[in-house]
Amino acid sequence: MTVQSSNLVLGRNTKWYIGGVYAIETHTVTSGEVSAGYFDLANTAEYGLIRATVDGTETAMTHYQASSTTPATQTSGTGAVTYSGIAENDVVILHYINVDTTAMSQGATSQGGTITDSSDETSATVDGQTTKIYAIGAADSTVTWKELVYNNKFRAAMYGSELTNDVASGKSTWSNAFTGFNSVGALVGIQYASDNTTILRKFGLIGLTPMSVATDFTTDSYYSDSLSAKCDIRIDFDNQ
């Protein structure tokens, strides 16, 4: 692939959405599904963000709309899947973001974020060796965000609660008086091409445990919220 400047899209072309529920689905393929060439998911999945194993082996999935072999889209979501060599009694375990239970909604004021993957590391010096030996532990993913203090949706997803139509119709208030840190099912980032329609990449962050929320009241810049959370699972979709 030849990379040109037009392939590099700025962060302003990425929009972040809140919602969805992490789902782990186990499905045993039937003879009828083999004949049909697909099987339906129990719920609609966020398009492009499914990882699956077939009899314990990671396997690429083709995404369809529900009860059909029509290719899935961002609008339809993924309702059915298939894979090469689908066979009766295959046991398929799927990990995805269920968007039926909780719909995705845009956290419209995000100024972007940082995702850091790290691990615990242990090192030791061994007699007679000039270099240390290392052991790597489990991965640890942390996501940090910054957003303009413009609406309460993104912050309330992480911490506290938003009360809409409070004070007056169309207005809202935020408070931590009744709710502390919240468990966040998923955040999805969609990077669009310059036409703001064509999807280039998607970033799925599943199982978020918020750690901190801070508000910056700066003199020479915009007021903003800073948020950080631990992330259980990441699924990235490259549509280029």
Q: pLDDT band at 111, cuts 50/70/90? A: confident
pLDDT for res 113: 80
Nearest to 203 by CA among 138, 110, 94, 120: 110
Domains and CATH numbers, the chain: 5-16+107-238 (2.30.110), 20-98 (no CATH)
User: What number of other Cβ atoms are within 10 A of residue 30's Cβ?
Assistant: 13
Read off the tokens for 39. Answer: 């099987």
pLDDT in tens, 166-184: 999 999 999 999 999 998 8
pTM of the full predicted structure?
Answer: 0.84
Fill in the DSSP letter of residue 129: -
What is d(CA 188, CA 210) in angstroms, rounded to the nearest whole number?
16
